Structure 1
């Protein structure tokens, strides 16, 4: 009898902004029955708190203290029927929806660039990842946060494709959108993410590269499931 394939308990998905990490990671997690953990929510949480408390976004010491003293948890969305994909808690406060404001969107890359903030939040991300049964999405998961993840994917797409996706998302929400401005913002975000001093955006040597340009979310998910099956078969042979 053929042995049962070993299922990856920790799956890391990295890549630049709007490469499809979140939508693909969510669908993959739902298919597997895993927690979907977009680690960007932790940086958004610190950004939200900094904005609320009037902490300057260029004050690394103050932001570092905030990140070091704030316990953030990410849990499955059980018990909520408001369309959320996970629940983000700071203590007993549910901040899940407060993380998606335009003010947080515009500020999070600057907060995430501070080494002290990244160091503090990396430890919290590992704590959640080590529970297992998680699809963890971000920009340094396979290289820094979970270098020993069972399997790593790096999703990418052309800047023009990523800008078009972001434009379509905003229009679908009824928000005004400027494609050229979005493209310029994505390129600047790529520059910030890839040149920061700590944990820059890069592909882990053992990550599987997947170009999502021209592919639908479902097509990418099917590709990852195929790759997971292939990896599981190799690991069990």
Structure 2
């Protein structure tokens, strides 16, 4: 289940979202070109990833921030940037550019801390913007719970794009992180589920002051749980390519 867009594009240009996407892509391309061997990759991650065992020894503290801009592969990067694009612009609208940037970094820090607490002596490097983006999703849930999100669903033979309220998609996502986090071995590597869950909770909590300032329940009533500007209307247009009619099959002497 992947979100592909929401129905309320931001009113202002989300310059911080654009900048974060550009930085993440640039760092990934640098990593792809400059790091040519496994040994170089290990040194690169040791310096810039978040390695809990290093933090416990008082080393590698810069990784608390720099890990948010590293990605392990093109799909890892693409998925994270898609989520940031869908959920980040409206949050930046409400928080302002500087406020959103600080919020994003704080959410990423909280996500890294959650993963560290779960496995403080793990030597597995943690990389990715997922934790910070999970914070964006938590903030989005609080401010715009009823915003429409177009979700791409792929279930074996069922392929659909359907609009769903944000709260359904986001709570399902959060629930999956918790369930997988409980069953995962944090010392074995893989997906940092607790970083996702921790970032989500942190983002929701960090958004509470803004939600209260906007009027809390009254803000929901005014905006009906949507971003406070007109909803975009999306529709699928018919193609201009002409339809080719199938020629009827000739019947043979036996009626076939």
TM-score (norm 2): 0.22
Higher fraction of strand: 1
Report 1 or 2 for greater relative contact order, CA contacts < 8 Å, sequence distance ≥ 6.
1
